[in-house]
C-alpha cells in the first residue's frame, strides 16, 4: 500500500464537479435558504453616513413605535452584553460590534432594528434619529502620517499603529558595492473579490445554557472563533458555530462576517429571541471588508547584468478604521517570500500599519500578494528599462535555480520545490512569446500602442499560524507564547452498508471540495466516487477543528485534501487488519479495489468492502483480540517546516510555494485610453494537480478577479470621506465580455511538504496578473508610472497630455478640475450668477426675511428661528423622483448688507447627510442686481454611494431652483414654465442656467 | 434593501391610469419595465405612496410609422423595438444605439418610454430622441400635448413631464433621404452607463452631433459641413460648452476628450456611409 493513490485512480484526473447538479438546478441550500426557528426576528442595521464623527446620541423612540418592531439595539446593549474585539497588536483601540461613542467609517453599524420582517425593520430604520458631530476624516496615507490629523482612536494618539524594521544580511554593504540602484514607489488600491452571496447570520441565545448557537456563512480562519467568543464573553464551547452546506462564494470575504456574528448574538441575547440578518449588496460593498491598500517604496541594488543583490522595501498598509482580526495578516502573510521568486540574498524591510476612515480590511483572494508583487514586479520591470535589458532576461538572472530547492529566502521562507527556469522556458515556447513580440512590432510599426508585460511570483499556500506574530518584537512574542503550524483535520467514517463519509474543517466556498475529497477517498478505498459522501456543513460543537480551520490561504489542496487522504488511509489500514485474519493473509498484502478487499496475489480470496465495513458495526465481539472496530478516523496534521518566527524575525510564513510566470500583450486605444488584453499566458507550477478541471477553473476565476483589480475595480472614497462605490454600477466587476480566456500552462513539481504533493492554485493570478498587465501598459505607453486600476481616463491622461484650451468667448462655466487620477473625490463645488429684477436692497430683504427664505429653500416645509439668522428647517430635497426629507440647520453669516452674505446648511435624512455653504454677493446691475454665488457642498451616505454620477449636476439643479425662486420672488418671470422660452433654452444650452 | 410600503395599481385603461395618477399626485410613481425604478425603490431612494403599473395598457404598446415619424408607444420594450425588422431603414441611429442600452436581459423589460421619462443624462434613448429631433407625447386627464426633445430634458432625472402626465409615446423622425448616421459610445464595461455617448447625423449641408453623459442632459449642436481644423475647433468649443463633471469613473477633461476624439470619429463614420 503506497501513500499516494495509483495512477489509475481518480486523483489527477479531470473529474467533473459533483456539486454542480445542485448548484445548477437550484436545489443547493445556502444560508438564507435554511429554515428559521419560530419567532425569529429580522434585523436591519442603521449605518453611519459619516466617515468620522462623534456619536452624540441616538433617538430610537419613534422607531420602537412602528408596528412589528420588537427592539432597537444600540451601543448600550453592545456594552452590556459584549466586549471589544481583540486586536492583533498591542494598541489601545476599542472596536465594538456597534459604535459606542464615535463612528470611523461610512457604513459602520450604529443601531439594529429587530422586527417581524426585514421590510418593517427597514421602515423603522428610517425613523431612528442619530446625532453626530462630524470630525475631519483621514482618507489618505499622507493624512494618516500627518501628526496634525485627527486620531481615529484618541487613546492611540496617532494613526500609525505599528512599525517594525527588519534587516536580513548586509544590505548597506550590498548597496555600496552595486553598480546600479533602481527604485519605484507604488500604491495598490482598495478592492475586493465580491462574492455573489452576501453575509448571513442566524443567531440564538440559550439563556438556560448561557450559550450562543449561530448559523452563518463564516468561512474561517477559526482563529477568529476565540475572538468572537471573547467578545461575547463566553468560553469557546458556548459559542456553537455552524455553517451551511453550500456557499455563494467568499474569496476570503466571508471571514469578515464575524463582527456581525457577535452583533447578532448580542441582539438575540438582548431580545431573548432568535435573530436573522442578511446583508444586502449596498451594505456589503460599503462596509463588509476590503483588501488593504498599500504604499510601497522599493529600491534595488543591481549588478550590471541585472542581478538584484539587495532590496530595500518600505510597506505601509492601510487597514481602515480598526485593526480587525486577523489583520495585520495581509501585510505579514508574504513575509517569508518578500523576495518573490528571486534569489535576492539581502533585504531590509520597514513595515508600517496605518488607520484611515475606511472600512476595516481583511481576507481577500491573493491576500497581500497582489500588493507585494505589484511593487516587486514593477521594480523588476524598471530594472530592465533602466539598464536597457530584456525584462525576461532580468527575471531569468534572478530566479531561484532548481538546484537550490528547497531554497531559504532572506526573510526565512523555505521555497519547497520547483524548477522556475524550466517553467519560464516552457511558457516562452508553448505560449509563443516570439509570436507575441512580432505582433507587438507590427502594431507599433502602424503607430499603435502595444506593450508586453511580464511577472514572476511565488504563490504561498497553507499559512503558518505564527506569521502574524512577526508584527510583534521577539520580546513580545516570548511573553505571548509561541504560535506556529498549520493544522488541518479530517474525519473519515464507514457505515454498515459500506458507504464512506468524509468531513473536513474547511468550510468550502464553491471550489469543489466534494469532488476532490471524493476522488481522494475513493482512491484510498478502491470504491467508486458515488460511494463517498462528503459532508460540507460544519459545526464547531461536533466536528474536529483547530484555530487553523477554515477556507483561506489556499490550504485545501495542500493541507485539507492531504489530511483527508491520511485519515482515509489510516481507516483503510485498520480495516485491513480486521480483514486479514478472515482472508488468512497479512494486512500489508491486502488490496482495496473495485469494491472488494482481496489478497494481492490472489484476487479470488476476497471480501466485499461493505462486509468489512459492516463487521465493525454488527459484530464487534468477533474482532481479533486487541483490535478496535474500524468505524471512524480523525487525523490532525501539521506541516513539519512551520516554526514560530525566530528571534532574528525569520519566518517561513507558508508551508508551500507554487510558481507562476505570466506574460501578456495589451493594446491601448489612442482615443479612449481603453486597455484591451490581446493575449495572456499564465504558467503555473502548483505541485501535484488533484483535478486539472478544478485547477483550470481556479486559475480562470483568479484571473478574472485580477483583471478586475488591474482595470476596473476600486472602492473609491471622496476626500470628504464619502463612499462612492455602493452598487455594481459603480464598483465595476468585469463580466464575461471583459475577461479574455488566458492560455493556461502547467508543470508539476510535487511539494515535499504536503501529503499529496499539492500546493494552492486559486490565488496566484490575483498576485501575478495585476502587475503583469500594469507592466504591459507601461511598456505600451513608454511611461514610468501607472496607477491601478488602469481605467480609461487614467490611461488617456498618460497619452493625451494637456487638454486643448477653452476657446475665447466660451460662456461655459468654469469648474475646478479634479486632482489627477482621483476624479469624483473632492467635495462638490460650483459657481454662477443670475440677474435678478430687483435692487440689492430688495434682494437683501428677501434673503433676510424668514418667510421669504422658507419660500426660497427647495422643498422647505418648515422653518423655525433658533437664533439670530439661524434656523431649523425641514426640507424635501432631491432630483426627479429621488427625494429625501432632511432636517437641516440653516444659517446666514458674514452679513454685509446689502452686498454679501454666506448661506450655509447641514442636515441629514434616511438618504444620508448633506452639508454646504454658499457665498452670495449682490451687485447693482442696471435696474436690477447681479447675484453671484460660489458654493461648496458635501453629500454623504447612501445617496453618495449609489448616485455619484449625478451628484454634481443634481447639486447645480437644486441650487438653480433656489435662484429661480429668488428671481420669481423678486418679480421676475416664473422660473421653469411648462414650456421653457426659447431664450431660456438657449441660456440653458450655454450652461448659464442650471 | 426592501422598499417602503406602497399601494400597487395595475390599471387596465389609460383613463384609469391617468385618474390614479391625478389622485396620487406627486406621491404616485409610474412603473413600466422597472429597470431603473425597482433598484431605486429597493434602496428607498424613491418612496412613492402609489405605484401605477403601465404594463397592462395595450394603447402604450403600439409602434406606428406615419407622416415622417416613427411613433413608439411608451410601454414598448427596448428589445421589441430593436427586433422590429424595418428599424434599420426607418431609424438607423436607433438600430445602432439600442444594443448599447443596458444588457439583453434588461432590454427585455426596460421600455422606450421609461428610459425617456427617467432621463438619465447618459442614457442612449434620450440621446437618440434629441439627435433625431424627436418629440415626447404627454397625456394627462386634462389634455394631450407634445414637447420637443430639446425642451423635454431639463436636468438629471428631471423632465418637463408634469406630475399628472404619462409619457404616452415617443416620436422619432424617420431617416431623412440623403442623411447618414453614426453612433459611438464609451463605457467602462459592456452594458454600463455611458461615460460619453455620441450620435452624428450628416446631411448634404449639415452636421448634427448629439452627446450624452457629459452635460446634465443629452445635448445637440448643428454645424455646416465642417472639416479639418474647423471641425476640430467646433468640437473643442462644443466640448467646453458641455462642461462635464468629474465622478469616480472619469474626469470632466476625459469626457471632453471623448467629445473631441469620438465626436470626430462618429462624424467620419456617418460621412463614410454617406459617400461610400
| pLDDT digit string, tens, across residues A841-857 | 999 999 999 989 999 88
- Residue B2, domain member (yes or no): no
**Residues in B 82-101 with any Cβ partner in A closer than 8 A:** none
ipTM for the complex shown? 0.96
Q: What is the mean pLDDT of residues A419-435?
A: 98
The reported pLDDT for the residue numbered A977 is 40
Starting at the edge strand found earlier in the chain, the sheet holding A500-504 runs A532-535, A500-504, A488-494, A632-637
Least reliable range by pLDDT among A332-336, A966-970, B34-38, B161-165: A966-970
Contact between chains at A948 and B245 (C-beta distance less than 8 A): no
Residue B27 and residue B72 in one domain: no
Locate cell 450624452: which residue? B212
Residue B24 and residue B68 in one domain: no
Q: How many other C-beta atoms lie within 10 A of the C-beta of residue B273?
A: 15
Exposure string over A107-123, b if 16+ CB within 10 A, otherwise e:
bbbbbbbbbeebbbbbb
Starting at the edge strand found earlier in the chain, the sheet holding A275-278 runs A69-73, A109-115, A41-47, A275-278, A200-206, A211-216, A239-243, A538-539
- How close, in Å, is residue B138 to chain A by CA atoms? 12
Q: What is the mean pLDDT of residues A359-375?
A: 98
Q: What is the mean pLDDT of residues A575-596?
A: 94
| CA A216/CA A237 separation, integer angstroms | 17
At A567 the three-state DSSP class reads helix
How many domains, chain B? 3
CATH number at B24 reads: 3.30.43.10
Q: Which three cell numbers stand for residue A257?
A: 462576517
Q: What is the pLDDT of residues A204-241, one digit of tens each?
A: 999 999 999 999 999 999 999 999 999 999 999 999 99
Higher pLDDT, B276 or A877: A877
- Residue B42, domain member (yes or no): yes
Contact between chains at B249 and A824 (C-beta distance less than 8 A): yes
Residue B100 and residue B198 in one domain: no
Residue B149 and residue B63 in one domain: yes
Residue B44 and residue B72 in one domain: no
Contact between chains at A952 and B246 (C-beta distance less than 8 A): yes
Over 50: is that where the pLDDT of A980 sits?
Answer: no
Q: What is the mean pLDDT of residues A648-658?
A: 97
Give me chain A's average pLDDT, please.
93
Cβ A341 vs Cβ A659: under 8 Å: yes
Contact between chains at A119 and B246 (C-beta distance less than 8 A): no
**Band of pLDDT at residue A972, cut at 50, 70 and 90:** low
- Residue B1, domain member (yes or no): no
B233 touches chain A (CB under 8 A): yes
pTM over 0.80: yes
Residue in chain A nearest B186 by alpha carbon: A672
**Residues in B 103-132 with any Cβ partner in A closer than 8 A:** 118-119, 121-122
- Residue B86, domain member (yes or no): yes
B193 touches chain A (CB under 8 A): yes
Give me chain B's average pLDDT, please.
96
CATH number at B213 reads: 3.30.390.50
- Residue B187, domain member (yes or no): yes
The reported pLDDT for the residue numbered A826 is 59
User: Which of B117, B147, B173 is the endpoint of a domain?
Assistant: B173
Over 60: is that where the pLDDT of A627 sits?
Answer: yes
Residue B135 and residue B67 in one domain: yes
Contact between chains at B119 and A880 (C-beta distance less than 8 A): yes
Domain that holds residue B76: 59-173
- How close, in Å, is residue A729 to chain B by CA atoms? 7
Higher pLDDT, A115 or A834: A115
Higher pLDDT, A298 or A910: A298
The reported pLDDT for the residue numbered A641 is 86
| CA B54/CA B18 separation, integer angstroms | 10
Which residues of A fall within a CB distance of 8 Å from B37? 881
Over 90: is that where the pLDDT of A90 sits?
Answer: no
Residue B86 and residue B131 in one domain: yes
Instruction: Tally the C-alpha atoms within 13 A of residue A624's C-alpha that lie toward its C-beta.
Output: 14
Q: Which of B4, B121, B190 sits opposite A953 (nearest CB)?
A: B121
Q: What is the mean pLDDT of residues A562-577?
A: 96
Contacts 24+ apart (CB under 8 A), A730-735: A730/A945, A730/A946, A730/A948, A730/A949, A730/B248, A730/B249, A731/A194, A731/A285, A732/A708, A732/B188, A732/B189, A732/B192, A732/B249, A733/A194, A733/A708, A734/A704, A734/A707, A734/A708, A734/B189, A735/B189, A735/B190, A735/B191
Residue B169 and residue B196 in one domain: no
Contact between chains at A793 and B251 (C-beta distance less than 8 A): yes
- How close, in Å, is residue A68 to chain B by CA atoms? 14
- How close, in Å, is residue B105 to chain A by CA atoms? 14
Alpha-carbon distance values, A23 to A245, A504, B10 (Å): 11, 21, 36
- Residue B39, domain member (yes or no): yes
Which residues of A fall within a CB distance of 8 Å from B3? 119
Q: Which of B247, B256, B268 should one mutate to test binding to chain A, selecting the residue with the greatest count of A CBs within 10 A?
A: B247
The reported pLDDT for the residue numbered A815 is 54
- Residue B12, domain member (yes or no): yes
User: Which of B123, B158, B173 is the endpoint of a domain?
Assistant: B173
The reported pLDDT for the residue numbered A988 is 52
The reported pLDDT for the residue numbered A1 is 36
| CA A293/CA A317 separation, integer angstroms | 6
Q: Which of A738, A807, A879 sits opposite B240 (nearest CB)?
A: A807
Which residues of B fall within a CB distance of 8 Å from A979? 147, 151, 160
Q: What is the mean pLDDT of residues B171-181?
A: 96
Residue in chain B nearest A805 by alpha carbon: B236
Residue B41 and residue B102 in one domain: no
Residue B14 and residue B103 in one domain: no
| CA A250/CA A289 separation, integer angstroms | 11
**Band of pLDDT at residue B81, cut at 50, 70 and 90:** very high
Q: Which of A792, A806, A883 sits opposite B240 (nearest CB)?
A: A806
Alpha-carbon distance values, B209 to A271, A990, B55, B148, B218 (Å): 63, 16, 34, 17, 10
Q: What is the pLDDT of residues A667-719, one digit of tens each?
A: 999 999 999 999 999 999 999 999 999 999 999 999 999 999 999 999 999 98
- How close, in Å, is residue B276 to chain A by CA atoms? 24
Contact between chains at B44 and A910 (C-beta distance less than 8 A): yes
At B59 the three-state DSSP class reads helix
Starting at the edge strand found earlier in the chain, the sheet holding A102-103 runs A102-103, A53-59, A129-134
The reported pLDDT for the residue numbered A877 is 87
Contact between chains at A824 and B246 (C-beta distance less than 8 A): yes
Over 50: is that where the pLDDT of B98 sits?
Answer: yes
Q: What is the mean pLDDT of residues A487-513?
A: 95
Domains and CATH numbers, chain A: 20-24+487-637 (3.30.365.10), 34-135+193-287 (3.90.1170.50), 160-191+290-469+643-796 (3.30.365.10), 828-989 (3.30.530.20)
Q: Which of B151, B158, B265 sits opposite A880 (nearest CB)?
A: B158
Residue B168 and residue B97 in one domain: yes
The reported pLDDT for the residue numbered B276 is 59
- How close, in Å, is residue B29 to chain A by CA atoms? 8
Residue A233's region, left for phi above 0, alpha for psi from -120 to 50, else beta, is: left
CATH number at B134 reads: 3.30.465.10
Contact between chains at B253 and A714 (C-beta distance less than 8 A): no
| CA A242/CA A116 separation, integer angstroms | 24
Residue B66 and residue B151 in one domain: yes
- How close, in Å, is residue A360 to chain B by CA atoms? 21
- How close, in Å, is residue B124 to chain A by CA atoms? 16
- Residue B155, domain member (yes or no): yes
Which residues of A fall within a CB distance of 8 Å from B43? 282, 942, 946
Q: What is the mean pLDDT of residues B250-257?
A: 96
Contact between chains at B254 and A989 (C-beta distance less than 8 A): no
Q: Judging by DSSP bridges, how do beta strands A200-206 and A275-278 pair with one another? A: antiparallel
Amino acid at each position: 500500500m503506497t501513500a499516494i493513490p495509483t495512477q489509475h485512480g481518480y486523483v489527477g484526473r479531470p473529474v467533473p464537479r459533483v456539486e454542480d447538479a445542485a448548484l445548477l438546478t437550484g436545489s443547493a441550500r445556502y444560508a438564507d435558504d435554511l429554515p428559521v426557528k419560530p419567532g425569529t426576528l429580522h434585523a436591519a442595521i442603521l449605518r453611519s453616513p459619516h466617515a468620522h464623527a462623534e456619536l452624540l446620541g441616538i433617538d430610537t423612540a419613534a422607531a420602537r413605535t412602528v408596528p412589528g418592531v420588537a427592539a432597537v439595539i444600540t451601543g448600550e446593549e453592545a456594552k452590556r452584553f459584549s466586549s471589544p474585539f481583540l486586536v492583533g497588536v498591542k494598541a489601545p483601540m476599542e472596536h465594538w460590534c456597534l459604535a459606542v461613542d464615535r463612528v470611523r467609517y461610512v457604513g459602520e453599524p450604529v443601531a439594529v432594528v429587530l422586527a417581524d420582517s426585514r421590510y418593517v425593520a427597514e421602515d423603522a430604520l428610517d425613523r431612528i434619529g442619530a446625532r453626530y458631530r462630524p470630525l475631519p476624516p483621514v482618507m489618505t496615507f499622507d493624512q494618516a502620517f500627518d501628526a496634525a490629523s485627527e486620531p481615529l482612536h484618541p487613546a492611540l494618539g496617532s494613526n500609525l499603529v505599528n512599525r517594525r524594521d527588519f534587516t536580513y544580511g548586509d544590505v548597506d554593504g550590498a548597496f555600496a558595492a552595486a553598480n546600479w540602484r533602481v527604485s519605484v514607489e507604488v500604491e495598490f488600491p482598495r478592492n475586493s473579490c465580491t462574492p455573489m452571496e452576501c453575509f448571513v447570520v442566524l443567531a440564538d441565545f440559550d439563556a438556560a445554557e448561557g450559550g450562543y448557537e449561530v448559523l452563518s456563512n463564516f468561512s474561517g480562519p477559526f482563529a477568529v472563533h476565540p475572538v468572537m467568543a471573547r467578545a461575547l464573553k463566553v468560553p469557546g464551547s458556548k459559542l456553537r458555530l455552524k455553517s451551511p452546506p453550500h456557499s455563494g462564494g467568499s474569496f476570503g470575504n466571508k471571514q469578515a462576517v464575524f463582527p456581525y456574528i457577535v452583533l447578532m448574538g448580542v441582539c438575540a441575547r438582548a431580545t431573548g429571541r432568535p435573530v436573522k440578518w442578511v446583508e444586502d449588496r449596498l451594505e456589503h460593498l460599503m462596509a463588509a471588508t476590503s483588501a488593504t491598500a498599500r504604499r510601497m517604496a522599493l529600491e534595488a541594488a543591481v549588478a550590471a547584468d541585472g542581478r538584484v543583490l539587495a532590496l530595500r522595501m518600505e510597506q505601509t498598509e492601510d487597514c481602515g478604521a480598526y485593526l480587525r482580526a486577523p489583520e495585520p495578516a495581509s501585510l505579514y502573510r508574504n513575509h517569508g517570500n518578500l523576495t518573490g521568486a528571486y534569489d535576492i540574498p539581502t533585504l531590509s524591510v520597514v513595515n508600517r500599519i496605518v488607520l484611515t476612515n475606511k472600512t476595516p480590511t481583511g481576507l481577500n483572494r491573493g491576500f497581500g500578494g497582489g500588493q507585494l508583487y505589484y511593487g516587486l514586479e514593477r521594480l523588476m520591470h524598471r530594472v530592465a528599462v533602466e539598464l536597457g535589458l530584456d525584462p525576461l532576461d532580468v527575471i531569468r538572472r534572478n530566479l531561484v535555480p532548481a538546484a537550490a530547492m528547497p531554497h531559504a529566502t532572506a526573510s526565512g521562507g523555505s521555497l519547497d520545490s520547483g524548477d522556475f527556469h524550466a517553467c519560464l522556458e516552457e511558457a516562452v515556447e508553448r505560449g509563443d512569446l516570439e509570436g507575441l513580440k512580432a505582433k507587438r512590432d507590427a502594431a507599433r510599426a502602424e503607430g499603435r500602442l502595444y506593450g508586453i508585460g511580464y511577472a514572476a511570483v511565488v504563490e504561498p499556500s497553507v499559512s503558518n499560524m505564527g506569521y502574524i506574530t512577526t508584527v510583534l518584537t521577539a520580546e513580545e512574542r516570548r511573553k505571548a507564547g509561541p504560535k506556529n503550524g498549520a493544522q488541518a483535520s479530517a474525519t473519515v467514517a464507514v457505515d454498515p452498508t459500506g458507504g464512506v463519509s468524509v468531513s473536513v474543517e474547511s468550510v468550502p466556498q464553491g471550489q469543489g471540495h466534494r469532488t476532490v475529497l471524493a476522488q481522494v477517498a475513493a482512491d484510498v478505498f478502491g470504491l467508486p466516487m458515488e460511494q463517498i459522501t462528503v459532508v460540507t456543513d460544519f459545526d464547531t460543537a461536533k466536528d474536529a477543528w483547530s484555530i487553523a480551520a477554515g477556507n483561506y490561504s489556499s490550504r485545501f489542496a495542500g493541507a485539507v485534501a492531504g489530511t483527508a487522504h491520511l485519515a482515509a488511509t489510516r481507516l483503510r489500514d485498520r480495516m485491513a487488519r480486521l480483514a486479514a485474519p478472515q482472508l488468512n493473509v497479512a494486512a500489508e498484502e491486502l488490496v482495496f479495489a473495485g469494491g472488494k478487499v482481496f489478497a494481492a496475489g490472489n484476487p479470488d480470496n476476497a471480501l466485499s468492502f461493505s462486509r468489512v465495513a459492516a463487521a465493525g458495526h454488527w459484530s464487534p465481539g468477533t474482532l481479533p483480540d486487541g483490535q478496535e472496530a474500524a468505524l471512524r478516523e480523525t487525523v490532525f496534521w501539521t506541516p513539519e517546516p512551520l516554526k514560530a518566527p525566530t528571534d532574528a524575525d525569520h519566518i517561513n510564513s507558508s508551508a508551500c510555494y507554487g510558481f507562476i510566470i505570466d506574460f501578456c500583450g495589451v493594446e491601448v486605444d489612442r482615443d479612449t485610453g481603453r486597455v484591451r488584453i490581446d493575449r495572456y499566458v499564465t504558467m503555473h507550477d502548483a505541485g501535484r494537480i488533484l483535478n486539472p478541471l478544478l485547477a483550470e477553473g481556479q486559475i480562470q476565476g483568479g484571473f478574472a478577479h485580477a483583471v478586475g483589480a488591474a482595470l476596473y475595480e476600486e472602492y473609491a472614497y471622496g476626500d470628504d470621506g464619502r463612499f462612492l462605490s455602493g452598487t455594481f454600477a459603480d464598483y465595476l466587476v468585469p463580466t464575461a465580455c471583459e475577461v479574455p480566456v488566458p492560455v493556461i500552462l502547467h508543470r508539476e513539481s510535487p511539494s515535499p511538504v504536503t501529503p499529496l504533493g499539492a500546493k494552492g492554485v486559486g490565488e496566484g493570478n490575483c498576485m501575478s496578473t495585476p502587475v503583469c498587465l500594469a507592466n504591459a501598459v507601461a511598456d505600451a505607453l513608454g511611461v514610468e508610472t501607472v496607477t491601478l486600476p488602469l481605467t480609461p481616463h487614467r490611461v488617456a491622461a498618460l497619452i493625451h497630455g494637456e487638454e486643448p484650451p477653452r476657446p475665447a468667448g466660451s460662456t461655459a462655466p468654469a469648474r475646478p478640475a479634479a486632482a489627477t487620477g482621483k476624479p469624483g473625490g473632492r467635495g462638490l463645488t460650483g459657481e454662477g450668477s443670475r440677474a435678478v429684477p430687483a435692487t440689492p436692497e430688495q434682494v437683501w430683504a428677501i434673503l433676510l426675511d424668514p418667510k421669504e427664505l422658507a419660500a426660497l429653500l427647495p422643498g422647505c416645509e418648515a422653518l423655525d428661528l433658533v437664533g439670530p439668522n439661524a434656523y431649523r428647517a425641514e426640507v424635501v430635497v432631491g432630483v426627479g423622483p429621488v427625494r429625501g426629507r432632511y432636517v437641516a440647520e440653516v444659517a446666514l453669516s458674514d452679513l454685509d448688507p446689502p452686498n454679501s452674505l454666506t448661506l450655509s446648511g447641514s442636515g441629514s435624512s434616511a438618504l444620508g447627510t448633506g452639508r454646504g455653504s454658499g457665498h452670495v454677493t449682490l451687485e447693482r446691475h442696471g435696474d436690477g442686481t447681479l447675484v453671484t454665488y460660489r458654493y461648496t457642498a458635501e453629500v454623504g451616505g447612501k445617496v453618495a454611494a449609489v448616485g455619484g454620477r449625478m451628484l454634481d449636476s443634481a447639486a447645480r439643479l437644486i441650487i438653480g431652483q433656489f435662484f429661480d425662486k429668488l428671481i420669481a420672488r423678486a418679480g421676475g418671470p416664473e422660473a421653469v414654465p411648462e414650456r421653457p422660452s426659447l431664450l431660456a433654452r438657449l441660456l440653458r444650452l450655454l450652461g448659464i442656467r442650471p | 434593501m426592501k422598499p417602503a410600503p406602497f399601494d400597487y395599481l395595475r390599471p387596465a385603461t389609460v383613463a384609469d391610469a391617468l385618474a390614479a395618477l391625478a389622485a396620487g399626485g406627486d406621491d404616485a410613481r409610474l412603473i413600466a419595465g422597472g429597470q431603473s425604478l425597482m433598484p431605486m425603490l429597493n434602496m428607498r431612494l424613491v418612496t412613492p405612496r402609489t405605484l401605477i403599473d403601465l404594463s397592462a395598457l395595450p394603447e402604450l404598446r403600439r409602434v406606428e410609422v406615419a407622416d415622417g415619424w416613427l411613433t413608439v408607444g411608451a410601454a414598448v420594450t427596448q428589445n421589441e423595438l430593436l427586433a422590429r425588422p424595418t428599424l434599420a431603414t426607418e431609424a438607423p441611429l436607433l438600430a445602432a444605439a439600442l444594443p448599447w442600452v443596458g444588457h439583453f436581459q434588461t432590454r427585455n423589460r426596460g421600455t422606450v418610454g421609461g428610459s425617456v421619462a427617467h432621463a438619465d443624462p447618459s442614457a442612449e434613448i434620450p440621446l437618440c430622441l434629441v439627435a433625431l429631433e424627436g418629440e415626447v407625447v404627454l397625456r394627462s386627464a386634462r389634455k394631450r400635448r407634445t414637447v420637443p426633445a430639446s425642451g423635454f430634458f431639463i436636468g438629471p432625472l428631471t423632465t418637463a413631464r408634469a406630475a399628472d402626465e404619462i409619457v404616452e409615446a415617443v416620436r422619432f423622425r424617420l431617416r431623412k433621404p440623403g442623411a447618414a448616421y453614426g453612433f459611438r459610445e464609451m463605457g467602462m464595461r459592456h452594458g454600463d452607463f455611458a461615460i460619453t455617448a455620441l450620435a452624428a447625423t450628416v446631411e448634404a449641408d449639415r452636421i448634427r452631433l448629439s452627446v450624452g453623459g457629459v452635460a446634465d442632459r443629452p445635448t445637440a449642436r448643428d454645424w455646416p459641413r465642417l472639416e479639418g481644423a474647423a471641425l476640430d475647433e467646433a468640437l473643442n468649443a462644443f466640448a467646453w460648452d458641455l462642461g462635464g463633471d468629474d465622478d469616480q469613473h472619469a474626469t470632466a477633461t476625459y469626457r471632453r476628450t471623448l467629445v473631441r476624439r469620438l465626436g470626430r470619429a462618429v462624424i467620419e463614420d456617418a460621412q463614410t456611409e454617406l459617400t461610400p
